[in-house]
Amino acid sequence: MTEAELIAGVLAGDPAAERALYDAHVDRVWGMVYRFAGDADRAADWTQETFVRVFQKLADFRGDAALGTWIGSVAISVALSGLRKVQRHDQRETVLLDHHPARTERRADPDLATRMREAIADLAEHYRMVFLLHDVEGYTHEEIARLLGVETGTSKARLSRARARLREALAAFA
Amino acid sequence: MNDDEREAMIRRLAHDSLQPPPAPREEIWRRIQMERKTTVPAVSTVATVARMPIRWGRVLIPLAVAATLALAFGLGRMTAPPSPSDHAAESPSRRATEPPTTAHRLVAAEYLGRTEVFLTDFRAAASTGQPDETASREARRLLGTARLLLDSPAAEDVRLRALLEDLELVLAEIAQLQRERREDLNLITDGLDQRGTLGRLRAAVPAGGTPASTQGVL
């Protein structure tokens, strides 16, 4: 099924098309919002809200970008809105540390990975958002500027500042 | 290690250290379906109610009563001799908006009272066995009224709005309850307990059944 057929199916109310769209994009949405949320419960809430909005607003999708990109922007909008409502950095750190020690130990030095998570969590929210969007999710500065409603230069400056903070935090490991 | 190498290391570390667990696909899908069932048909529910004169009547009667009371209240205010303290204490705009607010509060109080009775009965039935099919029908009727109230000026009260939103959720769950799904019933009663819905409802319903003396959220 092509993307256009999928969209047409969803707009026609076909449950199979709705499920196919969900299956095709849920992992990316989940990964994205989980990194912003920092805990699985909140990530589940935001993933749910993202797809509810996607189904509600799909008729507004004009096809200017890939469907995945559009869904990603909905997810980021949901995450940004959620982050404004809840600012619980301490819990975020704790949950991140508790959830996946085995996975991180397998991939990187455990102390370094832990320090990295702590350093990212310690970033001010506007720095952390730009860092995650650019360096982890792969968005361009132009896309980030549109998503966050800031100038491109502001996005670049925030990324530079975020990286500098992270370099400082990880200096002992260099 | 130069700056470029350090930044590449940071990106790689960020990727590795922020790996999410597998998405709970089925759970999230189930929740999406439930939320869409409870939110999307909001308009169609009203349309369905409109095709059923008896249900419409049951929704409109309290509104009509409240509107009559509001009119009477307003006429009383207009015909009563003005006292100096009235002018000193209240602005003209407040006098103009007071009757509708009172009317909506009366309707909300009457609605909360009926919902409290229903949920108390439902809670008792759930603990002893399976609620019968009339529970779902009554929940659908109360759900329609909750949505009307949420769209009315009564919902401008933040605490009342929060309570109505909770009631909308639990009533939608009960409305969709299937007899064979015991686990769904447990989820509903657990939700009622966790959100303290009945306690908040009882605190919001005026004592002695006198809507004019509303207290709590009203």
Whether B19 contacts A99, CB under 8 Å: no
Taking the CA atoms of residue B81, residue B214, residue B55 and residue B60 in that order, the dihedral angle to the nearest 10 degrees is 10
Tell me the count of A-B CB pairs closer than 8 A: 92
Residue-level pLDDT at A173: 65
- Nearest by CB to residue B23, choosing from A26, A99, A170, is A26
Residue-level pLDDT at A15: 92
- By mean pLDDT, which of A25-29, A38-42, B23-27 is the weakest? A38-42
- Listed in sequence order, the residues at least 6 apart from B57 whose beta carbon sits closer than 8 Å to its beta carbon are none
Residue-level pLDDT at B179: 57
By CA distance, what is A165's nearest residue in B? B10
CA angle A63, A65, A71 (to 5 degrees): 90
Contact B29/A at CB under 8 A: yes
Which positions in chain A touch B36 (Cβ < 8 Å)? 52, 55
Q: Which residue has the higher pLDDT, A82 or B32?
A: B32
The pLDDT tens digits of the residues spanning B151-206 come to 777 777 878 888 888 888 788 778 777 655 666 677 777 777 777 788 888 787 76
Residue-level pLDDT at A1: 74
- Could you tell me the pTM of the whole model? 0.49
Contact B92/A at CB under 8 A: no
Q: Which residue has the higher pLDDT, B151 or A27?
A: A27
When pLDDT is averaged across residues A159-170 and rounded to a whole number, the result is: 89
Which positions in chain A touch B25 (Cβ < 8 Å)? 22-23, 26
**Subunit contact A135:B14, Cβ cutoff 8 A:** yes
**Subunit contact A48:B35, Cβ cutoff 8 A:** yes
pLDDT at A32 over 50: yes
Mean per-residue pLDDT over chain A, rounded: 83
Most confident of A58-62, A154-158, A167-171, B191-195: A154-158
Copy the structure tokens of residue A5. Answer: 């057929």
Q: How far is the C-alpha of A107 from the C-alpha of A130, rounded, in Å?
A: 24
Residue-level pLDDT at B145: 83
Which positions in chain B touch A31 (Cβ < 8 Å)? 20, 23
Contact B7/A at CB under 8 A: yes
Q: Which runs of E-coded beta strand occur in chain A?
A: none
pLDDT at A103 over 50: no
| pLDDT tens, residue order, chain B (218 aa) | 677 777 788 888 888 888 889 999 999 999 999 888 776 544 333 333 333 333 444 445 555 555 544 554 454 444 444 444 444 444 444 333 444 467 777 788 888 888 888 888 888 887 777 677 778 788 888 888 887 788 777 777 878 888 888 888 788 778 777 655 666 677 777 777 777 788 888 787 765 544 444 445 55
Mutate to test the interface with B, among A166, A168, A170, A173 (most CBs of B within 10 A): A166
Which positions in chain B touch A114 (Cβ < 8 Å)? 17
Min Cα distance B117 → chain A (Å) is 31
Copy the structure tokens of residue B156. Answer: 């401008």
pLDDT at A167 over 80: yes
When pLDDT is averaged across residues A141-152 and rounded to a whole number, the result is: 87
